[in-house]
Structure 1
Amino acid sequence: MKTAFRTVARLEALTWAALLVAMFFKWVVQDDPHAGIEGGVPVAGLLHGIAFMVYVAVTLVAWRVLRWSPKVALVALACAVPPFLTLVFEVQAERRGLLDESRLGAV
């Protein structure tokens, strides 16, 4: 569970970065942002949408398997909305031992 959560949290942040870069090129670098050229936004948006949904699913499974409190699960889910907060949550969860199945005893 730990590896799955960490991987998906990082993937979600990586796809956020890709989407932000694609939007930057679409709206800032392009000479005429209203020319209808989407650039990488549709691809990055699709990848990020998929990563977001997988993060939500893995977080819900982690909530159940790792016996997180509802508050922890809600914070983990909320961290998927602003860019890169899944990384912050993942680091903090690791530090607090929330990703260790061994803390649960015999399951």
Structure 2
Amino acid sequence: MDIKTATAVRRLRLVSAPEAVSFLLLLVCSVLKRTTEFNAVPVMGAVHGILFLLYVAFLLDAWIKAKWSVGTALLYFVLSVLPAGGFFAERRLRREVENGVIAARARREGVVEA
């Protein structure tokens, strides 16, 4: 995995967990709005919207640079619209970057993969 690909995937990974947290907080604020006088939905909606747009932009960038299949990109998109899916996306992306770094280091050191 080259540096541009690793950077694109890392950006996506770094925004996936905050996007998931903002989604969960938006759900909590929605429930509180209907059960109490507390209404933070406009603020949390804006925060979540910005994070979601960043996630989608970073997903498109990572998809192009990492040359993922349509299925892989679709999986990461579906994970972004599930309330806790961003946490699963973050874990999967972290593993992908770690495996890519290990493979790049092995190629650089001349270790042949079996």
TM-score where L is the length of structure 2: 0.72
Percent pairwise identity:
31
How many residues of Structure 1 are paired with residues of Structure 2 in the alignment? 97
In 2, distance between residues paired with 1:89 and 1:10?
8
Unaligned 5+ runs, structure 2: 1-6, 109-114
Residue of 16, 27, 42 corresponding to 2:34 = 27
- State the partner residue of 1:89: 89
SS of equivalent to 1:68: coil
In 2, distance between residues paired with 1:6 and 1:89?
7
- State the partner residue of 2:48: 48
Could you say what the CA RMSD is over the residues aligned between the two structures, in angstroms? 2.2
**Which deviations, in whole Å up to 9, do the C-alpha atoms of 1:51-101 show, x marking residues without a partner?**
111101101101111221111001111111110102112212333x2x355
In 1, distance between residues paired with 2:53 and 2:79?
13
Q: Which runs of 4+ in 1 moved over 2 A?
A: 92-95, 99-106
Higher helix share goes to which structure? 2
In 2, distance between residues paired with 1:62 and 1:90?
13
- State the partner residue of 2:3: none
State the one-letter code of the partner of 1:81: V
Report if the CA contact (8 A) 2:13-2:94 is conserved: no
SS of equivalent to 1:19: helix
TM-score where L is the length of structure 1: 0.76
In 1, distance between residues paired with 2:69 and 2:17?
22
Following superposition, the deviation at residue 38 of structure 1 comes to: 6.5
SS of equivalent to 2:80: coil
